[in-house]
Each structure stands twice: as C-alpha cells, then as structure tokens.
Amino acid sequence: MNGDIIAINFPFIVVALLLALGFYTIGFKRNLIKVVIGVEILEGAVNLFLIALGYVKGGYAPIYTLAPKKAVGNMVLPTPQALTLTSIVIGVAVSALMLAFAVNIYRHYGTLDVTKIRRLRG
Amino acid sequence: MTTTIIKTTTRILAPLILVFGAYIILHGHLTPGGGFQGGAVFASGLALLIVACETDVVKKRFEKVPLSPLESIGALGFLGMALLGLMGYTFFRNVIANSGFIFGGRTPIGINPGFLNTGGTLAYMNIFVGMKVLAGLTSIVLIFFLLLGGKKDEW
Amino acid sequence: MMEHLPALMIAVPLFGAFTTPLLKKRYSLASMWAIIITAATLGLSLLLVQEVLSKGIIVYVFGAKNPSLVLPSGYRVPVRIIFEIDAIGAFMALSATLMSFIGALYSYSHVRMESGLEKYYALLLLLEVGILGMVLTGDLFNLFVFLEIAGIAGSALVGFRNYRGEASEAGIKYLIVSAVASLMVLFSIGLLYGQYGNLNIAYLSTQIHFDTVDMIALGLLFVSFAMKCGSVPMHYWVPDAYTEVPAGINPTLLVATYASLYALFRVSFSLFGAITWNMARVGWIMSILGVLTMFIGVTMALVQKDVKRLMSYHAISQTGYMLLGVGVGLTVLNDPAKLSAFGRTAMAGGIFHIINHIIYKSLLLMTAGALFYVTGTRNLNEMGGLARRMPYTTIAFIVGAAAISGIPPFNGFASKFLIYETSYQLNPLLAVIAMVTSVLTLASFVKVFASAFLGPPLEKYNEVREVPKPMVAAMIILAVLCILFGLFPNVVLKNLIYPAVDALLKLAQYQSWGGLA
Amino acid sequence: MRKALGLFAFLGFTLFLLGAAMSLRPFGAPPHAEMDHYFITHAQEQASANNVVTSIVFDYRGFDTLGEATVLFTAVAGVLMALRRREVSS
C-alpha cells in the first residue's frame, strides 16, 4: 500500500523534494545569487504542484481547436493551468526585481556574500 | 558576444521569432498561448536583437522606442477593456463576445478548426497584454544590458 | 454606479498608477496627480464604509451578468472571482486609503529633491492597490495575487534610495521574505484547491472537514502571514524595511503589514472558522506569539541609536498588542459566555489598536523623516535642541509619543486599556507583560525626546527651519486624529470597530455571501 | 551549533512536506471538479473562445490577470527605479 502511494503520488513527492531543496538553498547558501536561485526553485516547485493537481488520467489539453474526438468530455482541469500562468509571470517579476537589488548591492559593497553585507544587524 | 555568426543567425532568426510571437498573441483564444506567452516570445526576439549588437548600436536603436509609454498604454487598454463591462454588466464582463462586433463572432460548440473572429474582449485583452508584456520585458532586458554590458566606469 | 463601488476601489488607483509613469518629465505634476488619485480613492472608501455599515456585506462578482450573481444557474459552486466586503474589510480599506493620501501629501515635499519620482508615485499607488485588493477580496488566489503586488511594490519602495547600500539590502530582504511567504501561501492554496476544487473563501469554509492536508494548509497559511506581519520569529525584516523606506511611504507600508494581519484573521476566523477543535489552540498560539512579539520588540528598541530604527522596533512591539487582543478573542470563540464577557471586547481592542497604531506610528515615523529632512542624519546622538526650531514637528512628536505609551487622553490608551482589561481575565500574566511593555515604551520615547528636541541648541543646526507646509499638514492631520480618537473612543468603537469584530464573528453570514446563497 | 539546529529544523520540515505529499489525494484523480467542469462546458458559449485556459485567464478569472499584469508593471517600475542613475540634487 505504502509503496503504491509513492508510485501514484510521485509528482507530489518530487514537489516536496524540490521545496526542500529550495528552502535549503535559501537558508544555507551565502551567495545572494544562489539565494535568488533558491526562490526560483521554490517557484518552480509550486508551479509544478499546481499543474500536477490539474491532471486527469488520460486527459487532453482543454482546447477545442482541432482537438481529437476523444478529447470531448475528457480534458484535464483548466483552472490550475490558468493559476500557473499567473504564478509564472509573478515569478518572473519577483526574480527581476531581486536581481536588480543584487546588482545594486554588488555595486555598493563589491560582494554578494550575505555574511559580509549585513551591516543592518541589530 | 557580437561575432559574425551570432549576427547572421540573429538576422535570420529574429524576424521569425517576432512573427511567431505576434501569431501567438493574435491566436491566443484559439491555440495554446495568449498575450503573456506571445509577449514573452516577442520580447525574447527583441532581446536577441539587443544582445547581438554593440552597446552604441543598441542605444541608438532603442532610443526612439517608447517602451515605457507602450507599457502604460497596454496596461490602460487592458483596464479599459475590463471597464467596458460596466456598461450594464460588471467589471470584466465579456461584452463583445457574440455581439457581432470585430472579434465578436459566434463560436460553434464542440470541436472546430477555430475562427479568428471570435473571443470578444479576450482577443483585445490578448493584444493589449501582449503589448504590455513585450514592452515591460524588453525594458528590463535593455536596462540590465545597458548597465552591465556597457563600460565599467559608468557605474 | 453605487453597485460598482468595489470594482472602482481597485480601478481608480490602478488607473492612476498606470498613467503616472507618463508624467516623466514633470515631477510636481506626478505628485499632484498622486494626491488627487489617493484623495478620490479615500472618498470612494468612505462611501464604501457607509454602504457596508448600512447594508451589510457587499458582494461583487467579476464578469457576471450582475454583481450579485454568485452561483451560476444550475451549479452550487461559485466559479468567478468574488469580492466580499464586510465591515472589517471596509475598515482596513479606509485605513489604507487614508494613509496613502497622507503619505502622498507628505511625499510632495519630502522626496522632492530625488530622481525617479514618477516611478515612486506609481509604486505608492500600486502598493495601495495591493492592500485594497487583499482586504476586499473573497477569493484565495486573488488574495495571493494582491499580496504579491503589495510585496513587490513595497520592497521596490524600500530600495528607493538606491544610492544607499542599506536600502537595497533592506529591499532584497523584504522581497525574499515576502516572496517565500507568498509562495507558501500559494502552496497551501494549491493544497486546498486539490482537496475541494474551488478557491472561494466562503465556499471553502463550508466544505473544510479538517483532515491532515487541511491542517498542513492552515499551518502554512498561519506561518506565512505571521511572517509577513512581522511577528516574532521572523521579525528581522521589519526594522530594516521601515528604516530605509522614505517616510512618506511608511504609513502605507504599515497598512500593508497589517493587511497581512487581516489575512491572518481572515484565515483563522472565516476560512477555518467552522472547525471547532483547533481554534482555542490557535488562539493561544496567537496570544503567546503576541506577548513574545511585544516584549522582544520593545527590548530591542531600547538600545537603538537610529531614531527610525528605534521606532520600527516599537512597531514590532505594537503588533504584539493586536495579536494578543484578537488571540484572546479567538481563544474563547467557541465559548459564548466568555466571548460576550470579554472575548468580543478583546477583539475590539486588538482591531482598534490596528488603526490607532497606524495613525500614531505613521506620525512618529513622519516626525523622524522630518528630522532627517532638516538634519540629514538619523543618529540620536548627533541631534539636539531642535524643539525651538521646529515647533510643529515637536508637538506632533509629543502627541505621537504620548499615544504610543498609552497616556490617557490619546488614542493609544483607549485600545491598550481594552486589551489589558480583557487579557487579564484570560490570564493575568499576559496583562502584566503588556503593561510592562507599555512602561518600557514610554521610557524609550522619553529618551528620544530628550536627545533630539531638548538640550542646548547645537551650532550646526542654526540654519534649521520648520519643514515645508505639506509635511506639516500631513503631521497635523494625524496628530488631530490621535487626539480625536483618544477623546471620543466610544464613537469610533461603536461605528467602526464593533461592526468589524461582529463581521469576523458572524461566520454564517460570511459563508452565505451575506444571504445571497 | 546554530547550523546544526538549522539543519535539524530543515530535515523536520522536509519530512513534514513528504508527509503532506503522501497524504494528498492520488495523482490524476481530482475528487471535486465542479468549477472546472463548468469552465470546460461553458467556455465556448459564454466567452466564445476555443481555448478554455485563455477564457479562464481573461474572462472567468480576468481580475486575477489584471493583478498579474499589475505585478509585471510593478516589477518593471521597480527595476527601472532601482537601477536609475544617481542624480541627487541636494
């Protein structure tokens, strides 16, 4: 039974591992660019999770243009795809702004090491 | 990054990418894709044009392009299409669908080859969002390029 | 047009934000435009509050045939995005619009010398849009989208002074915290969607049967929103962000923080309000978190030399009072006798403290901004003898400091008194810590007053004069509000706060979209 | 010491996430899909679009998309502001 659920829920387990990887990168890496990459990994994990939620076994893409006959009444859920689209764009926006700040920090301190730029402590 | 190989490849590829982006934007309500995806494709074509040229050429080429106003106009157009719904219905009501206006044709129910003249406000919104996204992403790429690809002493 | 009020609340500031970058070359025009738009939004939100108080919950369905068509014919689930505005949402919207207006007014002079102002005002309006969307929406994913808007706009504004390294550092810190928090919110939204196939808060709250996955979702939502409202284990971003942001943005940024607090309340009271077992426990966690937050915040504040940073630590500490007040209410949610005895009053105290704190902390941070404007420093040791040179700022500071320390005729006293009184009935220790915190707050502000305003006039500040009129006007408005709220707390409580508390408590009404379904 | 504590918390969190993944409903069989069913059956007639996802993005959940466009607008404004030239006239 337990082995079964691992096989069936494999995409969700991948999502969990990716989330853990993202948190590890954010928490334990010292380079600011790597922290940004960690946030991106989290972003990817959550997007993968949303898409995986919408999957229906044997389903077709929810588009009627020139679809195969079998597709009618057998489509994957469209809402998670719409949500993922939104969340991807938001991810792009966040990473662009984070990188802009990283550029500014590098210009100012000459380093991207988070332990060296923390002057705001206290 | 500006070797002859890259320049020649860009010359061939960039128009194709731009056309493909425009196609995705225009057919957003029929085929996979839409304003965001098409805008991103279009912006990647422009990004190719940016990275394949020297800084001076890029500066001259993009000096006259009103990216920021284009973005504002795209966003305002999107908001305006949404506000159209306030005429009798609600915000974001698709008032043009099935009305016979441009893009207001009726879609046959079920599987069909797809007709461009459908979609109502969807098609307009795709165009506005595509405009906004291509302007926004291009200006991000442009400012990073001008800042980091330029001379060091400009910092 | 009245029925489209919820849509206009978003559309008007959004229109302002999209048009502001077009005014690139004329900075004063951009600031005038921002003031006009924020004033218009303030007017709309006053109308909205009036509507909500007289008619109850307002529902607005985006894209439907008419605004109140919640369920499509033949279906029992909502499919479109729904705005569901009850009294607490309207109350938060009023605070957000008021503070954005004050901030825009103050910014007119405060940042006049900087570049990039059209972006500054666009982002100010976008921050306002983000808060308004968060507090008005009745849809979980929509909440996430607006949370991101507020987070991105807020962090961009924190990094506004890009010639200072600290500003970019604080900005990226705030951005990473808010990105991680909102990704966790999105993850738990995904969990709930996977369970019940819907995103509407009211619908979900009728469906939730609280198995393992729901528990995980509640935990993640609670932690993420607590992180974003600056509660204790994750409060590190607050002092940096509040210190580095220009003082004109501080009021709106404060409201943005409390919009996350609102989301926390919404999750505990509405989304998971129908389950009976956990709420007392969640309430205890919230109260203890509140006490810890207030105590750690104030002890960190005592040692600060930077005036804005000191005030930011006090902001953390004051957030603790709100968590404590509402947490006490949540503890006794399922015990009607205790709820009517002190729970409802405790929640009123907590929610009243939100607006009081927003007002007086904005006032204090603005006076700190004024000090920075004239002296160019925020270090307390380098200031002195400014009372005679800046009379209005001094008065504003005294009012704000008295209010934050809970001295009777000012508004801080009104809400803190409610919290002491009620938390004492739950557990005397909570009330004692709250009072000790208040005394320490007073001590800390006496120190600021003595070192910045009193003392012999310093040679280098001989040229200093009072700050420009728009800044003075903004500070005076807030000082007057402080005094008015302190003198007539019952009027505010009766007309604004208790309806908000009841809106949180009346779950059945929220679940049925105000009786529409 | 601090790092060890962090690693411990991290491992606990990973197990928590794995537990969440295990206890989720089986992949590929969503139990409740009334909302999505509504979209699939009504998109062609109401939004007159063959692409159901686009009709959700711009019609049924169009307000989210306005927010999304606003996020992008915000980020572009933020990037341009963060990377603007230093020209402070004091």
**DSSP annotation string for C19-53:** HGGG--S-HHHHHHHHHHHHHHHHHHHHHHHHHHH
Residues 335-364 on C with a CB inside 8 Å of B are none
List of chain A residues whose C-beta atoms are within 8 Å of the C-beta of residue D17: 16-17, 19-20
Q: Hey, what are A120's tokens? A: 């705001």
Partner-chain contact C14 B79, CB within 8 Å? yes
* A21 in Cβ contact with A37 (< 8 Å): no
In DSSP terms, which residues pair with C139 in a beta bridge?
A: C200
Identify the pLDDT of residue C232.
Answer: 82
- SS3 letters across C105-148: HHHHHHCCCCCCHHHHHHHHHHHHHHHHHHHHECEHHHHHHHHH
A&C contacts, CB < 8 Å: 86
Q: Where are the domains of chain B?
A: 4-154
Question: Over pLDDT 70: what percentage of chain A?
Answer: 93
Would you state the pLDDT for residue B155? 41
In sequence order, the β-bridge partners of residue C61 are: C82
Cα C409 from Cα B114, distance rounded (Å): 70
Q: Copy the structure tokens of residue B127.
A: 């165009």
Asked if ipTM goes beyond 0.90, one says yes
Of C156, C171, C198, nearest to D77 by CB-CB distance is C156
User: C71: distance to nearest CA of chain D, Å?
Assistant: 11
Residue type, A41: I
pLDDT of D78: 94
Whole-number pLDDT of residue B150: 55
Tokens of B114: 């797809």
Query: Closest chain A residue to B28 measured between Cα atoms?
Result: A63
Please report the residues numbered 266 through 305 in chain C whose beta carbons come closer than 8 angstroms to any beta carbon of chain D: none
Q: What is the pLDDT of residues C447-502, one digit of tens each?
A: 888 888 888 877 788 778 888 999 999 999 999 999 999 999 999 999 999 999 99
- Three-class secondary structure of residue B105 per DSSP: coil
What pLDDT, on a 0 to 100 scale, did the predictor assign at position A119?
60
Chain D interface, Cβ < 8 Å to B: 44-51, 53-55, 57-59, 62-63, 65-66, 68-70, 72-73, 75-76, 79-80, 83
Mean pLDDT of all residues belonging to chain C? 90
pLDDT for A3:
67
Residue of D53, B147, C132 lying closest to A96 (CA atoms): B147
The model's pLDDT over C365-419, given as tens digits with 9 standing for 90+, comes to: 999 999 989 888 888 888 888 888 888 999 999 999 999 988 888 888 989 999 9
Asked whether residue A94 is domain-assigned, the answer is yes
pLDDT tens-digit map of A40-53? 999 999 999 999 99
- Which residues, 6+ apart, have CB-to-CB distance to C498 below 8 Å? C344, C348
> How many C/D residue pairs have CB atoms within 8 Å?
134
Q: Do D30 and C194 touch (CB under 8 A)?
A: yes
Is residue D57 over pLDDT 50? Answer: yes
For residue D62, the chain B residue with the least C-alpha distance is B92
- Number of structural domains in chain A: 1
> Which chains does C contact via 3+ CB–CB distances below 8 A?
A, B, D
Cβ distance of D34 and C148 shorter than 8 Å: no
Res C276: pLDDT: 65
The reported pLDDT for the residue numbered C278 is 64
Domain boundaries, position D69: 52-85
Among the partner-chain residues B110, B120, B143, the one whose CB lies closest to the CB of D48 is B120
CB < 8 Å from D in window 152-171 of C: 152-153, 155-156, 159-160, 162-163, 168, 171
Residue A90 is part of a domain; what is its CATH number?
1.10.287.3510
Yes or no, beta carbons of A105 and C172 under 8 Å apart = yes
Would the CB atoms of B111 and A63 count as touching at under 8 Å? no
Judged by a CB distance cut-off of 8 A, whether residue C341 touches chain D is: no
Does residue D69 lie in a domain region? yes
- pLDDT single digits (tens) B70-108: 999 999 999 999 999 888 889 999 888 888 888 888 888
pLDDT in tens, chain B (155 residues): 578 898 899 999 999 999 999 999 999 999 998 899 999 999 999 999 988 888 888 888 888 888 889 999 999 999 999 999 888 889 999 888 888 888 888 888 888 888 888 888 899 999 999 999 999 999 999 998 888 765 544 44
State the pLDDT confidence band at C154, using cuts at 50, 70 and 90: very high
Residue C482 CB coordination number (10 Å):
24
Of A66, A92, A100, the CB nearest to B113: A66
Question: pLDDT band at residue C10, thresholds of 50, 70 and 90?
Answer: very high
Q: What is the three-class DSSP state of C484?
A: helix
Number of domains in chain D: 1
The answer to whether residue C516 scores a pLDDT higher than 90 is no
* CA distances, D50 to each of B10, B21, B40, D55 (Å): 34, 19, 22, 8
**Chosen from B140, B142, B152 to mutate, greatest number of chain A CBs within 10 A:** B140
Distance from C-alpha of A70 to C-alpha of A55, rounded to nearest angstrom: 16
Q: Does C218 touch chain D (CB under 8 A)?
A: no
Domain assignment present for D28: no
Question: CA nearest B133: which of C19, A85, D83, A80?
Answer: A85
What is the per-residue pLDDT across D7-46, written as a single tens digit (0 to 9) for each? 998 999 899 888 888 888 888 888 888 899 999 999 888 8
Determine contact, residues C349/C373, Cβ cutoff 8 Å. no
Supply the pLDDT for residue C260: 94
**pLDDT reported for residue B79:** 94
Q: Which residues form the domain of A22?
A: 2-117
* Residue B28 contacts D where some CB pair is shorter than 8 Å: yes
Give the three-state DSSP class for C200: strand
- Give me the residues paired with residue B112 across strands: A65
For C168-209, the pLDDT digits (tens) are 999 999 999 999 999 999 999 999 999 999 999 999 999 988
Across the B:C interface, residue pairs with CB atoms under 8 Å apart total: 48
pLDDT at residue A2 in the model = 62
Tokens 């400091």, residue located: C401
Question: Is B151 exposed, middle or buried (CB count within 10 Å of its CB: 0-12, 13-18, 19+)?
Answer: exposed
* Helix pair angle (D62-82, A79-109), 10° resolution: 10
Instruction: Give mean pLDDT, residues A82-86.
Output: 94
Tokens 């493909």 identify what position?
B20
Question: How far apart are the CA of C136 and the nearest CA of chain A, in angstroms?
Answer: 20
How distant is the Cα of B80 from the closest Cα of chain D, in angstroms? 11
pLDDT in tens, A4-38: 778 888 999 999 999 999 999 998 888 999 999 99
Question: Between helices C87-110 and C469-487, what is the axis angle to 10°?
Answer: 150
The pLDDT confidence band at residue C3, using thresholds 50, 70 and 90, is: confident
pLDDT given at position C296 = 92
* Of D53, D72, D78, Cβ closest to residue A78: D53
- pLDDT in the model for residue C209: 84
Q: Does B120 touch chain D (CB under 8 A)?
A: yes
Structure-block tokens of residue B24: 């995705």
- Select from D13, D24, D29 the Cβ nearest to the Cβ of A20: D13
Residue C426 has pLDDT above 90, yes or no: no
Q: How many secondary structure helices (H) and strands (E) does chain A include?
A: 5, 0
Confidence band, pLDDT 50/70/90 cuts, at residue A122: very low
Report the C-alpha gap between C177 and A98 in whole angstroms.
11
- The residue among B41, B121, B9 whose CA lies nearest residue D66 is B121
Nearest to C62 by CA among B34, A71, D62, B16: D62
User: Tens digits of per-residue pLDDT, C250-295?
Assistant: 999 999 999 999 999 999 889 988 876 667 888 888 999 999 999 9
| D24: in domain | no
Please give the Cα distance from C469 to C455 (Å, whole number).
Answer: 26
Q: Best mutation site among C149, C152, C172 for testing chain A: the one with the most A CBs within 10 Å?
A: C172
